[in-house]
Amino acid sequence: MQNKIKVGIVGSAGYTGGELIRLLLLHPFCEIVFANSKSNANKKICEVHADLIGETDLKFSADIKSDIDVLFLCVGHGEAKLFLEKNKISNSVTIIDLSQDNRLNPEFVYGLCEMNGATIKSAKRIANPGCFATAIQLALLPLAKNNLLNNEIHISATTGSTGAGQSHSGTSHFSWRQNNLSVYKAFEHQHLAEINQSLKKLQLGFNQEINFVPMRGSFTRGILASIYTDCTISLPDAKKIFDEFYQNSNYVFLSEAAVDLKQVVNTNKCLLHVEQHGKKIFIVSAIDNLLKGASGQAVQNMNIAFGLKETEGLKLKATTF
């Protein structure tokens, strides 16, 4: 029997940390050595993550232990870089950073499994993609691979309230968010940089404008992105290149029928639906922002890096009803 992977988690009291703990507790080849949270040190994990009552007696730790194989950084943006500057982590430890700090850092492999799976296999430093970036890139990669992104790209995408993190703010407060819809960071969202990076990697010379309008939805989790661009390809040919690009993927599926969030929430799946309208190719992409957009993809990256099946610990069922 394979030795269990010893896991450490920094910043484990937030949404992504909680989802990661949930997944790793059920992972057949993992053992959580510590789940760090300075603000909740010595408190039972299930006191913060109430869905884990009866699942674990682990407590949050204030310190960082060195006897681990993989370290997940579930801290806020800007904090991962500071943590790595202050703490000397052995080169033998695989680091998977869920913040945005290292997604453009050449010393980290960009952990978009469907594009960089071969490189992730030997990586010791992995930058987990952003949630919006994951949904959008998975919709565009097959077109980029075939040099078909030659016009402006238009994107409208809505995320659930968990996308804002667990810290309270005016726009995450229940009374404001409920029965409400709003635009934020139009045309300047931070995930545009990593999206451009990936598209340029697959389509050399890509320089088209990406018009991205993110929105906050009145629901807790999930991302639904609608994307269109002028493209000289027929619908049958478009579907063929999507099928070919994802033929070996465990988690990206092309759906003939329209897709919705309930099909993907609580799973590591990305569902894509492709249509043609005149000269435009229209793509809808749906993911769970906390799983395929964060913790699920992080476990997928770990599985690849440690030579496991990508699906280990990720056999989840959608909350369709």
Residues acting as catalytic residues: 131
Residue 97 buriedness (CB in 10 A; 0-12 / 13-18 / 19+): buried
Q: Are 199 and 206 in contact (CB under 8 A)?
A: yes
**DSSP code for 294:** I
Cross-sheet strand order for the sheet of 5-10: 30-36, 5-10, 70-73, 94-97, 125-127, 109-110
CA dist., res. 24 & res. 31, Å (int)? 7
Instruction: Pull the structure tokens for residue 207.
Output: 């320089």
Strand partners, 158: 215, 224
Q: E strands along 38-161, which residues?
A: 70-73, 94-97, 109-110, 125-127, 153-159
For tokens 């078909």, name the residue.
Answer: 148
Residue 101's nearest CA partner among 121, 122, 130 is 130
Instruction: Pull the structure tokens for residue 150.
Output: 């030659």
Distance, first Cα to last Cα, the chain: 37
Q: Are 311 and 26 in contact (CB under 8 A)?
A: no
For tokens 């769970």, name the residue.
Answer: 288
The pairing of strands 223-230 and 280-287 is antiparallel
* C-alpha pair distances (Å), 261 with each of 103, 217, 290, 300: 26, 12, 13, 21
